Structure 1
Amino acid sequence: MKNVPGKVLATSVVAAAVLAPSVVQADEMEVEVTTIVVDDDGVLKSVDYDEVVNELLDGERDGLYSYIMEHDMVGIGVNDDTIVDFDAYIDVLVSSDSSDEDILQQMIEDGEYLFTEEEEASVTPWNGENLAPHDIQGAGHFSPYEGEEVNNVKGVVTHNLDQGYFPKGFYIQSLEEDGDIGTSEGLFVVSDKEIEPGTVVSVSGMVEERKPDLPDYMSTETQMTTTQVAATEVMEMSTGADVPEPVTLAEDRPQPDEIDNDELTSFDPEEDAIDYYESMEGMRVDFNNPTISSPIDYSEVAMLPEGADVPETKAGGARLTEDDKNPERIIVDLDGYVDNDSYPATVGDTMDGSITGIVDYDFGNFQVLATEAPPELNQQDYQPGATELTRDSGKLNVATYNIENFTPEDAGQKANRIAESIADNMKQPDVIGLVEVQDNTGNEDDGTVSGEESAQTLIDAIEAAGGPTYEYSEIPPVDNAEGGEPGGNIRVGFLYNPDRVSLKDGAEKGGSEEAVAYENGDLTLNPGRVAPNSDALQGSRIPLAAEFTFQGEDVVVVLNHFNSKSGDDPLFGLEQPPERGSEEQRHAIAEEVNGFVDGILEDDPDANVVVMGDLNDFQFSKTLDILKGDDLTNMIDTLPEDEQYTYNFTGNSQVLDHILVNNDLAGSTTADILNINSDFSVAEDRASDHDPVLAQIDFGFDGWSAEEVVTYMKENLDIGYKAGDSEDSVTQDLILPNEGFDGTTISWSSSNEDVVTADGIVTRPETGTGDEVVTLTATITNGAEVQTEEVTLTIPEEAPAVDISEARALDGGMQAKVQGEITAINGSNYYIEDDTAGIVVYDENGNIDAEVGDVIEVQGATGAYYGQEQITVAYADSVMIAEADADALEPATVTGADIGEDTEAELVTLENVEITEAREYGEFTAVDGEGNTFIVDNEFTDVPVEVGDTLDSITGVVVYTFEEYKVAPRVESDLQ
């Protein structure tokens, strides 16, 4: 048997023989065998020949030798720069009497049976490891290879990712599992490549632990990480492989009922949910027949797998308790499958079928990135309800309501929704503590601190919704000193119904830095701020105390908005149990407010005190224990447990908003939480992200007589007019009240049912027929007492249609009828255009069923939403499709200098474009062929460009967001 350098390694028999020297002298040239090349499942790998020889001479068989024996040898590396085909070499060797060296020399000289340059370039050194995703992941939260370069990590591609805050890349799973549930079989690969799922790849690169890409104001210090390989090389080895079947959560692997029970000192996926999800990071998973546990937000919905054992809310969601943080919740990212603004997910809705996706981590939570469209929602018959605290002439109704950064810009749909919830669902409380009222210019940082115009916007909307004309009292904050959105100056303030209560006379309103006290049975300032100069309240909202008089009884109400939980460790974070650093300030604020209440009750033990607001902490928290002290009772604790929630955070329904009363009042106070927002999505008309909390205090007064009640209701009869309407001009349906205090009923009749029905439905006279005058008669009944009141209304004839440019010039709140072709749709916003201009049509109640290219005729109220002109359509009969699938509207060719108010909402094209700068939130700065700068926005779709790209043209709709005009491409083909 010949002693052949390559053949020696072909079998264990030959390998045991004495090896020939690696350098031999042939007749005309020196031949040095330097490497052996093997086929490692489609990837060519080279091993050092001398190292193999040394290993065998040392008697070792577990390293290079074993690796070579497990794979097919395909080449012999000679003289460092030439690779001879191994099979060809063996064929010649077997049929020739020449020496090994002569054969190698001849093959090199002839140039036959040598690797091509391309084949040689594909050969990579073997690093001594055959790695799979489970090796890179390891049984823990950090990879054992973190910070190391790895080669030849093989797996099958399961999904490509290019969205949101995630890096671009793809997921792979191991070709063979290791049988260890602690080591995930999945892995994320950072790469610009998009590879067909089912492709087997070999990946080389740096192993990293990726923190979430959070906004600047959020810390990543205690956020978990995602193990990934930043690829330097990706080789596609084969296609058509089966993608691994998903692991079925809660079935294949039961869910732990604790997030962590050992402070992360051990890794136990069967006991700790934080380890459970980590052990499947990057893997395909599914879960069956889920229940919705949160409204949609940023395309994410929290869900509960079938059979999840959680403390339930009345809606069927998961309720956060002191002992249960509900780790069974699964955050599902539905990006690309549903629209955030129109997806009607309501807590308690269900799905028949499975959610399938990949486990990853972002914003403090493990989540499932959906890789398939979700099953259809089974929407339960669950609607926002009204309080059972009926209007009673002898009882005081108070409420606290966080209205989420409310400004005059919210006039329209948001103001109307909040107003309707106050007028109808909350039944018009006597005193409402508003939380998160911004100043008159919103987040414009211009030194404005007053919020009077913001409040008036809401007061007008409440009146239009059929509610009373409230009055408002506040003390402006110090500019940019009390938290919230920069420039917004959020504060707390009181709405009160002057027909029912009054601010007690005798004390002046306090200033922003004046501290109120309680002396001789009254507040020294009314209203006044509690401890505005205390260190405890620095950077946070200052509590506001006001003294109201109700039928001769004085009540001090202290309204609060404690500092937020911003900066606290996430439930699923590197610190276990999570540190809640923000609660230290809440404890200090609670001590200040408790001390203030102590002072009131020391001065007057018979005083009536209500403390309420958004306290940003739970009913079982230390903050509430401090606040209650020995003086107060939290009325939240008196409610059924499944009703105890005012807010939903990532699927955990929880209490943040509270009403407390002094202990002597507790027995005569009844509370109610109206879950009209936190269970519902934007598409389901939520008015805010918080639910209002109400309390009714029974002072033991005798109610009014039937005659007094009916007379009061007659004198204060409030008809609700839509925006821009009054009794002199009614163009839209009316809101007609049907109940009042003490069980009073109100019925209506009309002098002309064809124009205004007894239910308030308005049908305007046709154009050219003239206006109509209609009399509505209200019959007000309480027992045997009956009185009537007439209201005379003018209903103008239908307005003739106007072109869009004329509609844009109308004052806000005016009715307009326009016709235009739909050029783009974003949720409830329809961009339409005619020959004169473009405008946004806001579909307030989901009445428009039309597509891009349809010509629609709409009638609605004009106005501006954050500076962008729009028409709000509120009723189905205000929409008509004039022409379906019309000829595509040709975009106007413009320059960057033309992008502005004159082209707002129009479809335009800009030519010879270069992308010059990446901005925040997926936007770019660009320059057109004439050197004009403009902004490319991602209002409708992510923009697949990079800095330096040049384009023949960009087509898009001109939008106005964040005080800038931008061009928003609708689809990828808008970029040429």
Structure 2
Amino acid sequence: MPSKSSARLAALTVAAVCSAASTVVLISPAHADSVRIHDIQGTTRISPYAGQKVADVSGIVTGIRTYGSSKGFWIQDPNADDNPATSEGVFVFTSSTPKGVAVGDLVTVSGTVSEYVPGGTSSGNQSITEITKPTTTVVSSGNAVPAAVVVDAKSVPAAYAPAGDAAAGNSINGLTLEPSKYALDYYESLEGENVQVADTRVVGASDPYTELWVTVKPRENANRRGGTVYGSYDSQNTGRIQIQSLGSTAAFPKANVGDVLEGATTGPLDYNQFGGYTLVANSIGTLKSGGIERETTQKQKRGELAVATYNVENLDPSDDTFAAHAAAIVNNLQSPDIVSLEEIQDNNGATNDGTVAADQTVQKLIDAIAAAGGPTYDWRSIDPTNGTDGGEPGGNIRQVFLFNPERVSFTDRAGGDATTAVGVTREHGKAALTISPGRIDPANEAWTSSRKPLVGEFVFRGRTVFVIANHFNSKGGDYGLTSATQPVPRSSEVQRHQQATLVNAFVKDILDTQKNADVVALGDINDFEFSDTAKILETDGALWSAIKSLPKSERYSYVYQGNTQVLDQILVSPSIRRGCDFEYDSVHVNSEFNDQISDHDPQVLRFKP
């Protein structure tokens, strides 16, 4: 997935383009013929007054935002019309910290109606209707805030979004809202209004940006640990909603998946660049722990080979997470025989000075594992060419094999480097790699600005096992589920499909040479087990995603915007699958927790080669 932190920091540094507001305190009635808020909001996503000046728009202040790049306040008309498609609330963008207004003030606002797209138009996000360059007059103070609209399982429709207008590039912006039919239309009809959720279960843990996700539909695709499973492109989970706070960041709850915000959480409904519709809370319910604990997998038996994949999220020597990663590998993963690590950075991390070696990073992790009571792993990898494999600039992320030399041996075959392609040959009647470790077709354009698969030849109890460590192209650049374009385009999967095609072809080369070869392709596939990426990897039965051996409710390695979903996979060749003598475990130690050391859960496969 894309680096949330880098995108967010960029967003927060964008200078506000609107002029500072002015506030006048004056006790006088609003003009009777003023434009009302529901007139400004209209019955579509785009205001009929967009780009026009409006005067003396009346409303009661329901919330004030004093932080970030979008400072301002929300106002709401207490006298709603009878059209459920028109919102009675709107955001007033002041650019600087609002002064002279307080929650409960009845105000009139004059300014220009604007449609602001968080993240810019290239993000695909919907726009927020705002009044910009405002002049505000306080009419009276201490008024009751309009009663919050209760958002619950009964009010949110089961269908997620309408199909966009094909003539407008599948945009939903011009469509008349149908809030009783589509969840996105329902939320849009409440944009800027005071809303409330109550006794909601957390489905996305608190993050460093003081955000979390809850569901108002506790039965919607729920799993036993409290999450909401994303099981298909038609299962967007309509009950999810993001929670932020207008209060102190220190007071924001540190919640895990499965926890509950008891009581009411109330505030204006905003639209956020990183998640869409967001309840920006004036008050947050009381956190009640759901009690989930980090999982521990079973120890492999003597005759079983345990192979794992673990994305350690941009690990470099300056990080303070080595001991925690080591403890997870030793205690929660039970020291697998082979571990494919993704996102190992070079020796100086994000410093962009041409360094590509990662031996210090890897050795620090190996030492930490040994200190935690685990084996002294050996390792193999190939340094990438500087700046060619994507990820954090300067970091030169790559995949690394750790292996326990007391349990498994690595077959070294000379010649592997960043630009040389590994091939398959026949040796003593069986498949063998031409170089080991090696990289699959590294010059192919499918790997442009992306990680090249690392292939290794291992021997366990006399049996050769081919392991392919992958880190496919991220979903960066894809539109979010709340996009103004519906169905949502997934541009990033084009490159993943190319990558999957190459990996599938390489596995076929092995199997054409030795039909019963044991092949494991694993890693951060950056796509779902039901995706076309997975289907391409599985073409002609060369591979099969073993996470599908789990019940659907347990298939996840990642939590994104309140959806528990699969990104990390271990795929196996027919000889492993047909034997049915394997166990798969998605070990949930990170994705559901607010104190995660990586945003990915490791995966473990145990089988008898």
Work out whether the TM-score is over 0.5. yes
2:526 paired residue number: 616
How many angstroms apart in 2 are the aligned matches of 1:577 and 1:406?
Answer: 36
> Could you tell me which amino acid in structure 2 is paired with residue 171 of structure 1?
W
Post-superposition offset of 1:346: 1.0
2:576 paired residue number: 665
Post-superposition offset of 1:618: 0.2
2:305 paired residue number: 396
Any idea what SS the aligned residue of 2:45 has? coil
Q: Which has the higher contact order (CA 8 A, sep 6+)?
A: 2
1:636 paired residue number: 547
Superposed counterparts of 1:584-603, under 5 Å: 584-603=494-513
How many angstroms apart in 2 are the aligned matches of 1:259 and 1:337?
Answer: 33
Post-superposition offset of 1:653: 0.6
1:49 paired residue number: none
> Could you tell me which amino acid in structure 2 is paired with residue 466 of structure 1?
G
Alignment partner for residue 211 of structure 2, among 295, 300, 305? 300
Any idea what SS the aligned residue of 2:204 has? coil
How many angstroms apart in 2 are the aligned matches of 1:645 and 1:454?
Answer: 28
Alignment partner for residue 176 of structure 1, among 73, 76, 79? 79
How many angstroms apart in 2 are the aligned matches of 1:633 and 1:352?
Answer: 42
Any idea what SS the aligned residue of 1:241 has? coil
Q: TM-score, normalised by structure 1?
A: 0.56
Any idea what SS the aligned residue of 2:118 has? coil
Any idea what SS the aligned residue of 2:544 has? strand
Alignment partner for residue 694 of structure 1, among 590, 604, 609? 604
Maintained 8 Å contact 1:445/1:488: yes
Any idea what SS the aligned residue of 2:469 has? strand
How many angstroms apart in 1 are the aligned matches of 2:87 and 2:158?
Answer: 20
Gaps of 5+ in 2: 1-25, 165-171
Maintained 8 Å contact 2:205/2:593: yes
Cα distance 1:369–1:249, how it changes in 2: closer, same or farther (>3 A)? closer
Q: Which moved more, 1:344-353 or 1:203-212?
A: 344-353
2:151 paired residue number: 249
1:144 paired residue number: 48
The answer to whether 1:135 aligns with 2:39 is yes
Alignment partner for residue 460 of structure 2, among 550, 553, 563? 550
How many angstroms apart in 2 are the aligned matches of 1:335 and 1:295?
Answer: 18
2:21 paired residue number: none
1:470 paired residue number: 377
How many angstroms apart in 2 are the aligned matches of 1:509 and 1:558?
Answer: 17
Alignment partner for residue 159 of structure 2, among 258, 272, 275? 258
How many angstroms apart in 2 are the aligned matches of 1:135 and 1:335?
Answer: 27
Maintained 8 Å contact 1:561/1:614: yes
Maintained 8 Å contact 2:158/2:183: yes
Post-superposition offset of 1:427: 0.4
Any idea what SS the aligned residue of 1:318 has? coil
Identical-residue share of aligned pairs (%): 38
How many angstroms apart in 1 are the aligned matches of 2:371 and 2:566?
Answer: 31
Superposed counterparts of 1:571-970, under 5 Å: 571-630=481-540, 631-666=542-577, 667-682=580-595, 686-699=596-609
Any idea what SS the aligned residue of 1:319 has? coil
Post-superposition offset of 1:394: 1.0
Post-superposition offset of 1:261: 3.1
1:154 paired residue number: 58
Alignment partner for residue 317 of structure 2, among 402, 405, 408? 408
2:448 paired residue number: 538
Alignment partner for residue 238 of structure 1, among 129, 133, 140? 140
How many angstroms apart in 1 are the aligned matches of 2:280 and 2:162?
Answer: 29
> Could you tell me which amino acid in structure 2 is paired with residue 173 of structure 1?
Q
1:291 paired residue number: 201
Alignment partner for residue 513 of structure 1, among 387, 412, 419? 419
The answer to whether 1:503 aligns with 2:410 is yes
The answer to whether 1:200 aligns with 2:112 is no
How many angstroms apart in 2 are the aligned matches of 1:502 and 1:343?
Answer: 47
Any idea what SS the aligned residue of 1:382 has? coil
Cα distance 1:329–1:435, how it changes in 2: closer, same or farther (>3 A)? same
2:333 paired residue number: 426
Alignment partner for residue 190 of structure 1, among 80, 93, 99? 93
How many angstroms apart in 2 are the aligned matches of 1:199 and 1:157?
Answer: 5
Any idea what SS the aligned residue of 2:499 has? helix
How many angstroms apart in 2 are the aligned matches of 1:360 and 1:576?
Answer: 20
Alignment partner for residue 357 of structure 2, among 441, 450, 469? 450
Q: Which moved more, 1:399-408 or 1:192-201?
A: 192-201
How many angstroms apart in 2 are the aligned matches of 1:614 and 1:551?
Answer: 28
> Could you tell me which amino acid in structure 2 is paired with residue 383 of structure 1?
E
> Could you tell me which amino acid in structure 1 is paired with residue 581 of structure 2?
S
1:42 paired residue number: 28
Post-superposition offset of 1:425: 0.6
Maintained 8 Å contact 1:211/1:220: no
Post-superposition offset of 1:650: 1.0
Deviations 1:589-645 (A, max 9, x none): 000000000101111112110000000000000000001112111101001222110
Any idea what SS the aligned residue of 1:695 has? strand
> Could you tell me which amino acid in structure 2 is paired with residue 668 of structure 1?
D
Post-superposition offset of 1:41: 9.4
Deviations 1:390-418 (A, max 9, x none): 231111000000000000112x4x11111
> Could you tell me which amino acid in structure 1 is paired with residue 344 of structure 2?
V
Any idea what SS the aligned residue of 1:578 has? coil
Alignment partner for residue 243 of structure 2, among 327, 332, 355? 332
Maintained 8 Å contact 2:352/2:395: yes
Deviations 1:154-204 (A, max 9, x none): 1111111122242x2111101311111100000111225330122111111
Maintained 8 Å contact 1:439/1:489: yes
Maintained 8 Å contact 2:30/2:56: no
> Could you tell me which amino acid in structure 2 is paired with residue 652 of structure 1?
N
Maintained 8 Å contact 2:75/2:92: yes
How many angstroms apart in 2 are the aligned matches of 1:130 and 1:617?
Answer: 51
How many angstroms apart in 2 are the aligned matches of 1:231 and 1:647?
Answer: 41
Maintained 8 Å contact 1:357/1:368: no
Post-superposition offset of 1:337: 4.0
2:115 paired residue number: 209
How many angstroms apart in 2 are the aligned matches of 1:44 and 1:463?
Answer: 73
How many angstroms apart in 2 are the aligned matches of 1:546 and 1:301?
Answer: 40
Question: Larger Rg: 1 or 2?
Answer: 1
> Could you tell me which amino acid in structure 1 is paired with residue 105 of structure 2?
T
Maintained 8 Å contact 2:546/2:571: yes
1:345 paired residue number: 255
How many angstroms apart in 2 are the aligned matches of 1:335 and 1:627?
Answer: 46
Any idea what SS the aligned residue of 2:511 has? helix
1:376 paired residue number: 286
Gaps of 5+ in 1: 1-39, 46-70, 72-128, 700-976
Any idea what SS the aligned residue of 1:356 has? strand
Any idea what SS the aligned residue of 1:555 has? strand
Any idea what SS the aligned residue of 1:293 has? strand
How many angstroms apart in 1 are the aligned matches of 2:384 and 2:158?
Answer: 44
> Could you tell me which amino acid in structure 2 is paired with residue 676 of structure 1?
V
Deviations 1:216-244 (A, max 9, x none): xxx64411111011134211122222210
1:494 paired residue number: 401
> Could you tell me which amino acid in structure 2 is paired with residue 245 of structure 1?
A
Any idea what SS the aligned residue of 2:508 has? helix
How many angstroms apart in 2 are the aligned matches of 1:665 and 1:455?
Answer: 30
Post-superposition offset of 1:334: 2.9
Alignment partner for residue 479 of structure 1, among 374, 383, 386? 386
The answer to whether 1:438 aligns with 2:345 is yes
Post-superposition offset of 1:368: 3.3
1:813 paired residue number: none
Post-superposition offset of 1:373: 3.7
